[in-house]
Amino acid sequence: MSIAQLLVVEDEIAIRDMLVMALEQAGFGVQCAENAQQAQMLLDDMPPDLIVLDWMLPGLSGMEWAKRLRRDERYRAIPIILVTARGEEEDKVRGLETGADDYVTKPFSPRELVARAKAVLRRVGKPIGDARIMLGGILLDMEQHRVIIDNQPLPLSPTEYRMLEFFMTHPDKVYSRSQLLDQVWGRTTYIDERTVDVHIRRLRKTLADFARENLVQTVRGFGYRFSESA
């Protein structure tokens, strides 16, 4: 399997270095640029499989550059993960409307970005170096749709698998029941939010056999979170 090539565009050196290191450790090939002009040159040279793009760049903003790429038939198909410092819902919507495939909000952990990059690449059917994520002693294999704990495959229903995959690719963040419905069941389904609780209970029960149920945490008044920290 070939290694997926990523292009990181970020003007802050500390963040750029952190991203390059984490992505290389995860088995990706990484090139980086500090602004859109530099990124464009690298792109013309060798189009990457995925672009990790900072929204706020000096000169042409990441947002504007993403728009240009989406109008360019040579680059239209390259998935983009937008990195934004602003967490407002309106910005996220604008970012996704621009044609970004996903976004992460600063501050984020390198592990979160690696997980999102793998998920986006898998979704668009691009080669990925390693479609596995290890978190909290749980191994998620997104290529084989399997979850393994202590060398044992976990007996999960398709819904519980999708829920765990979503949690493991979006760790440490709280999601409401309606967000989980959107992400795990899809926006077109109309089911009761209590269904989420039912599946959370089932998932916890399965994880409890391996003493891992504490990874799926209830955040009172908000929803649920998957995290290694209590």
Residues that bind Ca ion (CB under 5 A): 11, 54, 56
**Smallest separation (angstroms) from Ca ion to the CB of 29:** 23
Half-sphere exposure of 173 (CA within 13 A, CB side): 20
What residues contact 190, with CB distance under 8 A and at least 6 apart?
none
- Cβ 156 to Ca ion, closest distance in Å? 39
What does the DSSP 8-state code read for residue 185? Answer: I
User: Could you identify the residue written with the tokens 């056999």?
Assistant: 209
Contact 135, 168 (CB under 8 A): yes
The two structure tokens encoding residue 172: 């440490």
Comparing CB distances to Ca ion, the nearer of 16 and 118 is 16
Give me the residue label for tokens 């070939």: 2
Give strand pairing partners of 29: 5
CB of 40 to Ca ion, least distance (A): 17
What tokens does 131 get? 């479609």
Question: Shortest gap between Cβ of 55 and Ca ion (angstroms)?
Answer: 7
Residue placing its CB nearer to Ca ion in the complex, 84 or 217? 84
The residue among 1 and 14 lying less far from Ca ion, judged by its C-beta, is 14
**82 vs 180 by CB, closer to Ca ion:** 82
Which residue in 67, 78, 13, 79 sits closest to 36, CA to CA? 67
Residue nearest to Ca ion (CB): 56
Residue closer to Ca ion by CB (options 56, 148) is: 56
- CB 60 to Ca ion: min, Å: 12
